[in-house]
């Protein structure tokens, strides 16, 4: 993922998770951000990713996240490592 892609993905994820109640203590806390459930998706590079796939991208050891930005940072770092 390029820096430009990373910035775009970060912005998209921050907007999507802006409704989440903090702290984020586990994947169940993320469901409020996705009113359309798995019908929602994010375009990352040349792929579309569902909320479930994003939730699996974060290590369970990373919770809790005190801010949306910290959670998104972890997601983007994980996605970049996997790219």
Give the CATH number of the domain where residue 22 resides. 1.10.238
Exposure string over 51-78, b if 16+ CB within 10 A, otherwise e: beebbebbeeeeeebeebeebbebbbeb
User: In this structure, is residue 38 part of a structural domain?
Assistant: yes
The pLDDT of residue 67 is 95
Q: Which is more confident, 61 or 44?
A: 61
Give the chain's domain count: 1
pLDDT band at 33 (very low <50, low <70, confident <90, very high): low
User: In this structure, is residue 81 part of a structural domain?
Assistant: no
The pLDDT of residue 60 is 86
Q: Which is more confident, 9 or 31?
A: 9
Pairing, β 47-49 against β 42-44: antiparallel
- Which tokens belong to 31? 């469901």
The tokens 């998104």 sit on which residue? Answer: 72
pTM, two decimal places? 0.77
The mean per-residue pLDDT over the stretch 3-14 comes to: 79
Q: Identify the three-state secondary structure at position 24.
A: strand
User: In this structure, is residue 82 part of a structural domain?
Assistant: no
pLDDT band at 21 (very low <50, low <70, confident <90, very high): confident
């Amino acid at each position: 993922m390029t820096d430009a892609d990373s910035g775009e993905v970060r912005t998209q994820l921050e907007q999507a998770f802006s409704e989440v109640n903090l702290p984020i203590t586990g994947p169940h806390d993320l469901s409020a951000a996705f009113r359309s459930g798995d019908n929602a998706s994010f375009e990352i590079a040349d792929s579309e990713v569902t909320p479930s796939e994003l939730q699996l991208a974060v290590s369970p050891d990373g919770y809790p996240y005190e801010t949306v930005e910290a959670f998104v940072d972890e997601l983007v770092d994980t996605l970049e490592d996997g790219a």
